[in-house]
Each structure stands twice: as C-alpha cells, then as structure tokens.
Amino acid sequence: MELLNWDGTFSFFLIIAIHYIIHTVNGDDSLKVSLISTGSALPEKVLDNTEISTMVETSDQWITERTGIKTRRVVTTETTISLAVEASKRAMEKAGVAPSDIDLVICATITPDTVVPSAACRIRHELGIDKGAAFDVNAACSGFIYSVSLARSLMLTEDYNTALIVGSEVLSRIVDWTDRTTCILFGDGAGAAILKKDSDLGGEILATHIESFNDIQNALVCDNYPIETPFYTGYKPEKTKLVMDGQQVFRFAVNAIVDSITAVLKKAGKTADEIKYIVPHQANVRIIDSAANKLKIDKSRFFVNLHKVGNTSSASIPIALDELFDSEKPQKGDLVLIVGFGGGLTAGSALIRY
C-alpha cells in the first residue's frame, strides 16, 4: 500500500517548511531554560551588630554605616546540607516538582560539610533524587550564577530537563571571629532554584555571562586544612580562616558588577532601562550604590536584603531572589538581572525574562 501519495508528501513538506519559516522569523529555536521557582532557608540564630560588638572592637554604627548590615544568621546545629535540603524542598514545592522529576543537581558552596561525597550528591540522596548528575561548584560568591550558567548549557546540549541549583554556605565556620575587618560581613544560609527546559511558566534565562580574574594580590583567601603525609610535612597553610583585603575587593566588586551587567545586556540585546529588578550579590550596600551610580541606574531598582542576612556568599543571590519573589510576583515580560562577584576572583550575571 502506498503510505503517502504525492499530495500527502507535498502537504507534509509544506507544513514543515511553514513551521521552519515561523521559527526562523521569530528567532525562536524552541529550546529554552527557565528559572521557575526559588526557595531559601536560614539558620535560627540571629547575630546582630550589638552582639558582634561584644566579640570584637566595633559598633553597630560603624558596621551599619560602612556596610549596611544590621543582622546575619549563623549556624548552631544546622549544616550546609540541612540548610540546602530545606531551601530545595521549598523551591520544589513552589514549582510543583517531585524528586523523580529532577535529573541534575548542582550545589554552589565554598563550605561543603564533606570533601567527598560532594554536597550536591548528599542533597540529592536526602531528597530522594535518583537519576541524572550531581556535583559541586566553587566559584565563591559567584557560585550560584556559575551554576545557573552551567546548568543552562548542560540542559541545552544534553538530555537534562529539570535542574535543582542550590547555593548553601556555613561561612561562620571559616570566618575568623577575632578579625573585625571580616567577621562583621558574613552570614550563613541557603537558597535554591528549579530550572526547567521548555517551560511556559516564565523565567526564561535569556543570557548568562561568567568570568574569572587572577587574584594576584591574594585579596580573598582561605587556605586548605593542614595536610601532612608520610612523604611531605612542609605544607603549612597560613590562612586557615578567611583573610581579605577589603578595599581591594571593594574596588574589584564595583567594576565587576558594572562590567558584568553591561556584558550580559549586550549578549541579550537589551538595555539597562528595560530591566525591572537587579538582584546583586549582597556584600555591602556601598558597593551596590557605587555600581548603580556608575551605571546611572536608579538604586531603587536594586533589590537589597543584606541588612538582614549579611553576605552569605553563593547563597546570597537565591536568598534575595526568593525574598523578592515572595513579596512581589514578577509580571509577564519583566526582566530580572542577577549579578555577582567573589573570591577567585570571579564574576557573573544572568538575565531572566518573566
């Protein structure tokens, strides 16, 4: 029997051709990755500036004026994994995603509870996810954006459909609580996001931009744990707690935000005027203000929650995104830009359309 006569074959190719023309004209190759939900979790203990003033020589006034930070959370019994699992459950619930849907888990952290297994593998295990890949990313405070960028690339080129991206940190364990120049800045917490391929729920990631720079002057360093082997005992780490040159990092941060925002907007063919919200890494309100001034973008468009949580490194952007979306649902077409910078040195940004 003839399966397709001349007319049938012609109609079939005509439909394919029309489909191709429509997609070419729209510039839509139908493959897209969207950030469809967020979740966050913070430790119970609140550490305010007044309590820090009892630990090092500082004051609420100094910390507030120089950083904008008023309180931060620090772990007691919580861990990187427990916070990450909590944040992930919330993001999964909001997205209506079950563990069996997830086929990619990436955890951004510089404070994993264990070296092996990775935090991502342990999160996956605790959540009952049992397919696909799981691994950690260390890009310091840019870690969440690096992970989003990496997940998006993997989802566009490989067979992953639903990704869980978590930034989780217990920085209080690597902070030097006798150093007033660093201990006032950091906090603990976790933020998570669900990324989905070909979703119609909004949140399409239009473009990402990630970059690294050599930290020639060791502006932000935390050495390895002491290592002695039967073969070499000469490795003596000097900085087993976080050590930072605040002013150098400050200068880098302002330029990194400006350059990274400019780069991702250029990639997406958008302008700063079109952005509804910018969610920057929450390190210091003076860094955000300086970048806003340089970019000539009104400060009110930068979402800030660092006064409550301090700098939670790779968790900072998803925690802030989660707070923003809980208070203000993005409307269809809204552009949200996330931008971060951190140790490495690293920087990154992503532009999302709702």
| Catalytically annotated residues | 141, 281, 311
Q: What is the DSSP pairing of strand 275-280 with strand 335-342? A: parallel
Residues 179-197 as b/e (b if ≥16 CB within 10 A, e otherwise) read ebebbbbbbbbbbbbbbbb
In 3-state terms, what secondary structure has residue 303? Answer: coil
- Give DSSP secondary structure letters for 67-116: H---EEEE-SS--HHHHHHHHHHHHHHHHT--GGG--EEEEE-SS-S-SS
Phi and psi dihedrals of 277, rounded to 5? -130, 145
Asked if 189 is part of the footprint of ligand COA (rule: CB under 6 A), the reply reads no
31, two tokens: 């493959």
Asked if 180 is part of the footprint of ligand COA (rule: CB under 6 A), the reply reads yes
Rounded Cα–Cα distance for residues 185 and 322 (Å) = 21
Q: Which is nearer to ligand COA, 101 or 289 (CB)?
A: 289
Q: How far is the CB of 220 from ligand COA (least distance, A)?
A: 6
Binding mask 67-96 for ligand COA (x = CB under 6 A): x-----------------------------
Q: How far is the CB of 53 from ligand COA (least distance, A)?
A: 9
Rounded Cα–Cα distance for residues 347 and 354 (Å) = 24
Asked if 66 is part of the footprint of ligand COA (rule: CB under 6 A), the reply reads yes
Which run of H or E residues covers position 275?
strand 275-280
Q: Which is nearer to ligand COA, 249 or 297 (CB)?
A: 249
Among 250, 272, 305, 307, binds ligand COA (CB under 6 A): 250
Q: Which is nearer to ligand COA, 58 or 161 (CB)?
A: 58
Please give the residue whose beta carbon sits closest to ligand COA in the complex: 246
Q: Which residues contact 83 (CB under 8 A, 6 or more apart)?
A: 41, 42, 43, 75, 168, 170, 188, 189, 190, 315
Asked if 184 is part of the footprint of ligand COA (rule: CB under 6 A), the reply reads yes
Asked if 246 is part of the footprint of ligand COA (rule: CB under 6 A), the reply reads yes
Q: Which is nearer to ligand COA, 65 or 158 (CB)?
A: 65
Among 58, 71, 255, 262, binds ligand COA (CB under 6 A): 58
Asked if 62 is part of the footprint of ligand COA (rule: CB under 6 A), the reply reads yes
Asked if 290 is part of the footprint of ligand COA (rule: CB under 6 A), the reply reads no
